Structure 1
C-alpha cells in the first residue's frame, strides 16, 4: 500500500531537559543529575514520527532567527521531513522546559516563541494541505490557524487528524471538521462531549495500551507493550505520528503499530531523539 502524504501543522521547540530523582514541590530546589537540549515540539515530534514510520511528510510551522532554529530545521531534515514551507521569523524559537523524575514521569512548561507567530496560512501552505492525504494538527500554535487549516482540509477532501493538546476550549466548528482524534485519558475526559462528534477516536492509556472507537461504535483494544521506561516525554507524539502514517492500512494495523512506537519511545531520553524507526517498530511487533 502506498505511503500517505501527511502535512503536519504545529509547533517546533527546543526541549531543555533536566533529570532529577524527583520533581520539586512549589518553592523547593532539588539537585538534578543531567541536562540536555533535545529538539521537540508536538508538531515536529509527530512529523518526525510519521516520517520514520514511512509517510511522506511536509511540516508547516515557524522557527526563530536564533541558533535553536537552525538545529531544529536540521533535525526535521535528517528525519526525512520536507521543510520547504517552514517559516523563519524574527525572535526566539519556541522552547519547552522539562523535568524528568526517577520514574520517567515529567513536568513541562512550554514557551511559544516563534510558534505564536503562526497566525495565518499562506496560499502555498493551503495548497499543501489540499494536496495531502492527511492533515495532522495539535494545539501549541494559535487555534484560529488550526481552525483555518482544518476547514480547508475538510473542503479539499483531506482527512483531518487532531491531537487536542494542550487541553483548552475549542470552537465547535473545529470539532465538526475532525475525522480522527487522538487523545490521552485526561484529554478524553476533558473533551468527552466534543469527541462524540468525531467519527474516529483513539485513546491512549499509557503503559496499558490504547483503545479505538470508530463509526457505529466499532471498538478495538490493544494491550500495552512491556518495556523499561526511561522517559515518557514524546511518547504520545511518537504514537500519534506512527498512527497517521499507517492510518490508510486500517484501524487495527495502525493501532498496533502506533502502540508499539509509543512504547519504544519511552525507553530512551528525550522526545524526537526517542522516536523509533520503522525497522525497530517492525522488529518489536515480531517479537511481542
Structure 2
C-alpha cells in the first residue's frame, strides 16, 4: 500500500503543475486542433505538386484551386453555393419529416414494424444513382426530382435513428412510467421521446450528411447551378482545379451544417451525463 501511494505522489505533483486554462479558452484550443491535419495536408500537396512529383494538370496545387474559387467572383460562387444549400435544406426537411413520422410509427407499433420495416430495409440498399432514371421519367427535369432524390437520401438514416431509438428504450423506464399511471401520450412525451433523443439526433446528423451526398447525384439531373454542376462541368472540360474547388466547397458546407447540428444536439441533450475525454477534463 505504501509503495502504491508513493508511486501516485509524483503524478499528483505533476498534475498540480499542469497549466490551468479557462474552460472557454481550452475548448477553443481543442477545436482548433481539428484544423491542424487539413492544414498539413494542404501544405504537403502544395509541396509535392510544386516539386514536380505529381503532374499539376492531374492534381492542381491548393493555391491554384483557391485561385479558381476567387476567379468565380463572389456572385458566381454564391449562386452555386446557394442553389445547392437550398436544395439540401428543402430535401432534408421533406425526408426527415417523413422519416420521423414513419420511424415513430414503426417504433411504437410491433404490427407496423412487421409490415413496413422489411420494405424500408430493402429500399435502403438501393444506390442513389439507381433512382435517377425513374425520377426523370416520373417528375421531369425540374427541381422536383432533385428534391425527391435528396429526401430519399435523408429518409433512411433518420428513420433508423427514430425507430431504433424508440425500440431501444430501457424497459425499466417504461415500467416505471406504467407504475406512475402515465397514459400512452404521456408515456411517449415524458419517457420514450427523451430516452430516444440521442439516437434521433444521431440519425438527423447522418441524414443531413447523406443529403449532401445525394445532392451531388441530384444535380446531375440537368442542373445549371450548384456544386454538382461544377463537378460535371469540371469533368467535361478536363479542369481538375474546378473539380477540386467543388469538392472543397462540399467539404466546408458539409462540415458547417454538421457543426450546426452538433450544436443543436448539445443544446437539446444538455441533460445527459456522458463520458468526455479524460484529457479535456479540468
- Bin the TM-score by the shorter chain: under 0.3
Per chain length, whose mean CA-contact separation is higher, i.e. which structure has more relative contact order (CA < 8 Å, sep 6+)?
Answer: 2
Task: Name the structure with the higher helix share.
Answer: 2
Compute the TM-score of the two structures, normalised by the length of structure 1.
0.24
Task: Name the structure with the higher strand share.
Answer: 1
Compute the TM-score of the two structures, normalised by the length of structure 2.
0.24
